[in-house]
Chain A
Amino acid sequence: NAGVTQTPKFQVLKTGQSMTLQCAQDMNHEYMSWYRQDPGMGLRLIHYSVGAGITDQGEVPNGYNVSRSTTEDFPLRLLSAAPSQTSVYFCASSYTGVHGYTFGSGTRLTVV
Protein backbone atom coordinates (compact mmCIF):
# COMPACT_ATOMS: atom_id res chain seq x y z
CA ASN A 1 0.00 0.00 0.00
CA ALA A 2 1.22 3.47 -0.85
CA GLY A 3 1.96 5.69 2.10
CA VAL A 4 4.50 6.67 4.71
CA THR A 5 6.23 3.85 6.57
CA GLN A 6 7.84 4.51 9.93
CA THR A 7 9.97 2.07 11.87
CA PRO A 8 10.19 1.06 14.62
CA LYS A 9 6.77 1.52 16.24
CA PHE A 10 8.18 1.34 19.76
CA GLN A 11 11.67 1.85 21.14
CA VAL A 12 13.25 2.10 24.57
CA LEU A 13 16.71 3.66 24.79
CA LYS A 14 19.11 4.30 27.59
CA THR A 15 20.40 7.83 28.10
CA GLY A 16 23.36 8.45 25.80
CA GLN A 17 22.48 5.77 23.26
CA SER A 18 22.06 6.63 19.62
CA MET A 19 19.46 5.43 17.17
CA THR A 20 17.83 6.20 13.85
CA LEU A 21 14.12 6.43 13.23
CA GLN A 22 13.34 5.40 9.70
CA CYS A 23 10.81 7.06 7.41
CA ALA A 24 10.09 6.04 3.83
CA GLN A 25 7.41 7.10 1.34
CA ASP A 26 6.58 5.69 -2.08
CA MET A 27 4.45 8.55 -3.41
CA ASN A 28 7.30 10.59 -4.92
CA HIS A 29 6.55 13.42 -2.52
CA GLU A 30 9.00 16.31 -2.49
CA TYR A 31 8.35 17.43 1.06
CA MET A 32 9.09 15.29 4.11
CA SER A 33 9.13 16.25 7.76
CA TRP A 34 9.53 14.98 11.30
CA TYR A 35 7.41 15.99 14.29
CA ARG A 36 7.30 15.15 17.93
CA GLN A 37 4.11 15.05 19.96
CA ASP A 38 4.18 15.60 23.70
CA PRO A 39 1.20 15.66 26.07
CA GLY A 40 -0.26 19.14 26.40
CA MET A 41 2.06 20.60 23.75
CA GLY A 42 0.70 19.32 20.48
CA LEU A 43 2.85 18.51 17.48
CA ARG A 44 6.10 20.37 16.91
CA LEU A 45 8.22 20.37 13.76
CA ILE A 46 11.77 19.01 14.24
CA HIS A 47 13.29 19.02 10.73
CA TYR A 48 11.98 19.10 7.21
CA SER A 49 13.15 18.60 3.65
CA VAL A 50 11.82 20.10 0.41
CA GLY A 51 13.69 17.63 -1.76
CA ALA A 52 16.64 15.26 -2.00
CA GLY A 53 19.82 16.89 -0.68
CA ILE A 54 17.94 19.72 1.07
CA THR A 55 17.09 19.81 4.77
CA ASP A 56 16.25 22.56 7.22
CA GLN A 57 15.46 23.02 10.89
CA GLY A 58 12.02 23.34 12.35
CA GLU A 59 10.89 24.56 15.74
CA VAL A 60 12.74 22.01 17.92
CA PRO A 61 15.82 20.72 16.05
CA ASN A 62 18.32 20.40 18.92
CA GLY A 63 19.49 16.86 19.57
CA TYR A 64 18.35 15.57 16.17
CA ASN A 65 20.03 15.17 12.78
CA VAL A 66 18.49 14.39 9.41
CA SER A 67 19.62 13.70 5.88
CA ARG A 68 17.79 13.28 2.57
CA SER A 69 19.92 11.32 0.15
CA THR A 70 16.91 10.01 -1.81
CA THR A 71 13.39 11.26 -2.46
CA GLU A 72 11.96 8.22 -0.66
CA ASP A 73 13.84 8.22 2.66
CA PHE A 74 14.17 10.75 5.46
CA PRO A 75 15.77 9.22 8.57
CA LEU A 76 15.89 11.00 11.92
CA ARG A 77 18.98 10.43 14.06
CA LEU A 78 19.33 10.83 17.78
CA LEU A 79 23.07 10.97 18.45
CA SER A 80 22.93 10.87 22.26
CA ALA A 81 19.45 10.23 23.59
CA ALA A 82 18.17 12.21 26.57
CA PRO A 83 15.05 11.66 28.72
CA SER A 84 13.68 14.93 27.30
CA GLN A 85 13.45 13.18 23.93
CA THR A 86 10.85 10.75 25.25
CA SER A 87 7.95 11.42 22.91
CA VAL A 88 5.88 10.14 20.03
CA TYR A 89 7.50 10.89 16.68
CA PHE A 90 5.65 11.26 13.39
CA CYS A 91 7.00 11.48 9.89
CA ALA A 92 4.92 13.06 7.12
CA SER A 93 5.20 13.80 3.43
CA SER A 94 3.37 15.86 0.80
CA TYR A 95 3.55 17.40 -2.64
CA THR A 96 4.79 20.83 -1.64
CA GLY A 97 2.03 23.42 -1.62
CA VAL A 98 -0.47 21.26 -3.44
CA HIS A 99 -1.96 18.58 -1.27
CA GLY A 100 -2.30 17.80 2.39
CA TYR A 101 0.07 15.66 4.34
CA THR A 102 0.31 11.89 4.65
CA PHE A 103 1.47 10.83 8.10
CA GLY A 104 3.28 7.72 9.22
CA SER A 105 1.83 5.66 12.07
CA GLY A 106 4.27 7.06 14.63
CA THR A 107 7.13 5.85 16.80
CA ARG A 108 6.77 5.84 20.57
CA LEU A 109 10.23 6.47 22.01
CA THR A 110 11.10 6.20 25.68
CA VAL A 111 14.51 7.27 26.96
CA VAL A 112 15.38 5.99 30.43
Chain B
Amino acid sequence: KNEVEQSPQNLTAQEGEFITINCSYSVGISALHWLQQHPGGGIVSLFMLSSGKKKHGRLIATINIQEKHSSLHITASHPRDSAVYICAVDDYNNNDMRFGAGTRLTVKP
Protein backbone atom coordinates (compact mmCIF):
# COMPACT_ATOMS: atom_id res chain seq x y z
CA LYS B 1 0.00 0.00 0.00
CA ASN B 2 1.32 3.40 -0.97
CA GLU B 3 1.96 5.72 1.95
CA VAL B 4 0.31 8.56 0.02
CA GLU B 5 -3.03 8.01 -1.67
CA GLN B 6 -4.72 10.54 -3.93
CA SER B 7 -8.24 10.66 -5.26
CA PRO B 8 -9.55 10.84 -7.81
CA GLN B 9 -6.98 9.53 -10.28
CA ASN B 10 -8.61 11.40 -13.13
CA LEU B 11 -10.97 14.34 -13.05
CA THR B 12 -12.74 16.14 -15.88
CA ALA B 13 -14.53 19.40 -15.17
CA GLN B 14 -16.23 22.19 -17.05
CA GLU B 15 -14.72 25.65 -16.95
CA GLY B 16 -15.88 27.51 -13.87
CA GLU B 17 -16.48 24.47 -11.70
CA PHE B 18 -15.12 24.10 -8.16
CA ILE B 19 -12.55 21.31 -7.98
CA THR B 20 -11.40 19.23 -5.02
CA ILE B 21 -8.51 16.78 -5.02
CA ASN B 22 -7.90 14.69 -1.93
CA CYS B 23 -4.73 13.27 -0.38
CA SER B 24 -4.46 10.81 2.52
CA TYR B 25 -1.20 9.65 4.04
CA SER B 26 -0.22 6.99 6.53
CA VAL B 27 3.19 8.15 7.78
CA GLY B 28 4.25 10.81 10.24
CA ILE B 29 5.09 13.96 8.39
CA SER B 30 6.85 17.24 8.92
CA ALA B 31 5.20 18.88 5.92
CA LEU B 32 2.91 18.18 2.97
CA HIS B 33 3.38 19.54 -0.54
CA TRP B 34 1.07 20.07 -3.47
CA LEU B 35 2.81 20.08 -6.85
CA GLN B 36 1.54 20.82 -10.34
CA GLN B 37 2.98 19.05 -13.37
CA HIS B 38 2.17 20.66 -16.69
CA PRO B 39 1.53 18.66 -19.87
CA GLY B 40 5.05 19.60 -20.99
CA GLY B 41 6.45 17.84 -17.93
CA GLY B 42 7.64 20.72 -15.77
CA ILE B 43 6.87 20.54 -12.04
CA VAL B 44 5.90 23.56 -9.98
CA SER B 45 5.53 23.67 -6.21
CA LEU B 46 2.10 25.10 -5.30
CA PHE B 47 1.98 24.77 -1.53
CA MET B 48 3.97 23.52 1.40
CA LEU B 49 1.95 23.23 4.60
CA SER B 50 2.16 21.60 7.99
CA SER B 51 -1.10 22.84 9.48
CA GLY B 52 -4.27 24.74 8.67
CA LYS B 53 -4.92 26.33 5.33
CA LYS B 54 -3.11 28.28 2.64
CA LYS B 55 -4.50 30.27 -0.28
CA HIS B 56 -2.86 31.50 -3.45
CA GLY B 57 -5.13 33.08 -6.02
CA ARG B 58 -7.81 30.54 -6.94
CA LEU B 59 -6.02 27.68 -5.20
CA ILE B 60 -6.63 26.66 -1.61
CA ALA B 61 -4.86 23.88 0.30
CA THR B 62 -5.95 22.51 3.64
CA ILE B 63 -4.51 19.89 5.93
CA ASN B 64 -5.91 17.98 8.91
CA ILE B 65 -2.97 16.50 10.79
CA GLN B 66 -5.13 14.39 13.11
CA GLU B 67 -6.96 12.78 10.20
CA LYS B 68 -3.82 12.63 8.01
CA HIS B 69 -5.68 14.22 5.14
CA SER B 70 -5.20 17.18 2.83
CA SER B 71 -7.31 18.73 0.10
CA LEU B 72 -6.48 20.97 -2.82
CA HIS B 73 -9.32 23.15 -4.05
CA ILE B 74 -9.47 25.13 -7.28
CA THR B 75 -12.18 27.75 -7.51
CA ALA B 76 -13.53 28.94 -10.87
CA SER B 77 -11.50 26.37 -12.78
CA HIS B 78 -10.03 27.29 -16.14
CA PRO B 79 -8.62 25.19 -19.01
CA ARG B 80 -5.12 26.41 -18.10
CA ASP B 81 -5.52 24.55 -14.78
CA SER B 82 -5.36 21.28 -16.75
CA ALA B 83 -2.39 19.42 -15.33
CA VAL B 84 -1.41 16.57 -13.04
CA TYR B 85 -1.58 17.54 -9.35
CA ILE B 86 0.71 15.61 -7.04
CA CYS B 87 0.58 15.33 -3.28
CA ALA B 88 3.87 14.65 -1.51
CA VAL B 89 4.86 14.33 2.16
CA ASP B 90 8.12 14.81 4.05
CA ASP B 91 8.35 11.60 6.10
CA TYR B 92 10.09 12.75 9.29
CA ASN B 93 10.87 9.20 10.45
CA ASN B 94 12.92 8.41 7.35
CA ASN B 95 13.89 11.96 6.38
CA ASP B 96 12.40 10.97 3.05
CA MET B 97 9.83 12.32 0.62
CA ARG B 98 6.91 10.20 -0.55
CA PHE B 99 4.63 10.99 -3.47
CA GLY B 100 1.11 10.22 -4.45
CA ALA B 101 0.48 8.89 -7.96
CA GLY B 102 -1.09 12.17 -9.03
CA THR B 103 -4.51 13.38 -10.16
CA ARG B 104 -4.90 14.21 -13.83
CA LEU B 105 -7.23 17.20 -14.15
CA THR B 106 -8.78 18.24 -17.45
CA VAL B 107 -10.84 21.40 -17.54
CA LYS B 108 -12.96 21.80 -20.65
CA PRO B 109 -14.00 25.20 -21.99
Contact = CB atoms under 8 A, between A and B. Distances in A.
Interface stretch (B19-27, B36-44, B69-77): B36-44
Contacts of B41: 88, 105-106
A40 B46 CA distance: 22
Contact of B96 (A43, A45, A92): A45
Contact of B42 (A33, A44, A101, A105): A105
Interface in B84-106: 86, 88, 95-102
Interface in A51-106: 56, 58-59, 88, 90, 92, 97, 99-103, 105-106
Majority SS at the chain A contact face: strand
A66 to B, nearest CB: 15
Nearest to B6: A42
Interface in B16-72: 30-31, 33, 35, 41-48
A9 to B, nearest CB: 10
21 contacts: A35-B99, A40-B101, A42-B86, A42-B102, A43-B86, A43-B88, A43-B99, A44-B99, A48-B97, A59-B96, A88-B41, A92-B43, A97-B30, A99-B48, A100-B48, A101-B33, A101-B45, A103-B35, A103-B44, A105-B42, A106-B41
Given A33-B97, A43-B86, A103-B44, 15 more contacts: A40-B101, A42-B99, A42-B101, A43-B88, A45-B96, A58-B96, A58-B97, A100-B33, A100-B45, A100-B48, A101-B45, A101-B48, A103-B43, A106-B42, A106-B43
